[in-house]
Amino acid sequence: MTRAPTLKPFQYLPHLLPNINIDGETFVGIRRQIHSQPELGFEVGATSKLVATLLAEWGYEVHTGIGKSGVVGQLKRGNGKLRLGIRADMDALPIVEATGLPYASQLHGKMHACGHDGHTAILLAAAKALADHPDFDGTLNLIFQPDEENLCGARAMIEDGLFERFPCDAVFALHNMPGVRPAPSACCRGRSALVDVPMSRSRAWVATVPCRTARATRLRRRQRSSPRCRPWWPAMSRRMTPPWCRSASSVAAPRTTSFPSP
């Protein structure tokens, strides 16, 4: 008789992954720094400079100006042939922040209301952990993308030779999900609204993560047929990919919001 497992599927990862010790407060501070200085579209100069500086300090080979203002940090270990990509977005929205938080936006009409400040900080935390504990054999490409909100940044980076210069056998990304309780979330293969063109040269995986806890240990895979995976990602990608790329100066007039910052 087969014995039933004592752990649920999403509980396996903590037992497979090593303990990772990073200073969480440092990356909370980085996230709040980015949140207070939001930038739109491709005009993410300060954010991309911060990302590039930190990656260089941690030993990554840093490449900037990809797709106008994208950044790639590359780390190689051993002689392995596998190449992994992890991607985050850096741009904000044309919204007036009225949260009153100590780290609220200092730039009127701009706000990180979609959580890209968190995405960037999460990938930087992963970058630091992987640099400190490089227990892998192959190539790691960390991709920081501009202009996700106008759906032009990924296309610009790919057309600028992203995957010719930094080939990836698979690419992973995540997006926070405000309002979802801290619990296992979807991890789906394929194209999504996060990436405005199909990742035809590699396999792409996208996770949705509860905004209160963006821990990899809380992810679990869902079948592609899962209702949580299918409703809007492919359709939104097809409908929303525009034939133009708007600059930060051409976006709509800012809206005002008072909802809590993520």
DSSP one-letter string for 84-109: EEEEEE---BSEEE----TT--SSTT
Q: Does residue 12 lie in a domain region? A: no
DSSP element (H, E) containing 260: none
User: Which pLDDT does position 212 carry in this prediction?
Assistant: 40
- Euclidean distance between CA atoms 190 and 104, whole angstroms: 35
72's tokens = 């790639």
What integer is the mean pLDDT of 145-165? Answer: 94
How many domains, in total, are found in the chain?
A: 1
| Listed residue (231, 240, 230) closest to 195, CA to CA | 240
Q: Does residue 14 lie in a domain region? A: no
Q: Does residue 42 lie in a domain region? A: yes
> Which distant-in-sequence residues (6+ apart) come within 8 Å of 72 by Cβ?
62, 63, 66, 141, 142, 143, 144, 162, 165, 166
Task: Name the residue with tokens 């996230």.
Answer: 31
What integer is the mean pLDDT of 185-194? Answer: 54
Question: Is the CB of residue 103 less than 8 Å from the CB of residue 32?
Answer: yes
Q: Does residue 195 lie in a domain region? A: yes
Mean pLDDT of the chain: 75
- Asked whether residue 81 carries a pLDDT value surpassing 50, the answer given is yes
pLDDT in tens, 18-55: 667 788 899 999 999 999 999 999 999 999 999 999 99
- The pairing of strands 95-97 and 187-189 is unpaired
- Euclidean distance between CA atoms 81 and 73, whole angstroms: 18
User: Which pLDDT does position 105 carry in this prediction?
Assistant: 97
> Does 197 or 92 have the greater pLDDT score?
92
User: Which stretch of 58-67, 162-171, 198-207, 208-217 has the lowest confidence by average pLDDT?
Assistant: 208-217
What integer is the mean pLDDT of 240-249? Answer: 41
177's tokens = 């999900």
| Whether the model pTM is above 0.85 | no
Q: Does residue 120 lie in a domain region? A: yes
- Asked whether residue 222 carries a pLDDT value surpassing 70, the answer given is no
Q: Give how far Cα 223 sits from Cα of 10, 11, 216, 227, 228, Å.
A: 14, 18, 18, 9, 9
Q: Does residue 262 lie in a domain region? A: no
User: Which pLDDT does position 234 carry in this prediction?
Assistant: 38
Q: Does residue 143 lie in a domain region? A: yes
Confidence of residue 186 (pLDDT cuts 50, 70, 90): low
> Does 222 or 177 have the greater pLDDT score?
177
- Asked whether residue 224 carries a pLDDT value surpassing 60, the answer given is no
What are the φ/ψ torsions at residue 148 (nearest 5 degrees)? -75, -35
User: Which pLDDT does position 176 carry in this prediction?
Assistant: 84
User: Which pLDDT does position 93 carry in this prediction?
Assistant: 96
What integer is the mean pLDDT of 118-137? Answer: 92
> Does 177 or 61 have the greater pLDDT score?
61
**pLDDT > 90 fraction of the chain, expressed in percent and rounded:** 53
Q: Does residue 4 lie in a domain region? A: no
- Euclidean distance between CA atoms 44 and 56, whole angstroms: 18
Encode 45-82: b = buried (16+ Cβ within 10 Å), e = exposed: eebbebbbebbeebebebbbebbbbbbbbbbbeeeeee
DSSP bridge pairs for 63: 72
Q: What is the CATH number of the domain that holds 224?
A: 3.40.630.10
Determine the structural domain holding residue 159 and report its residue range.
21-240+251-257
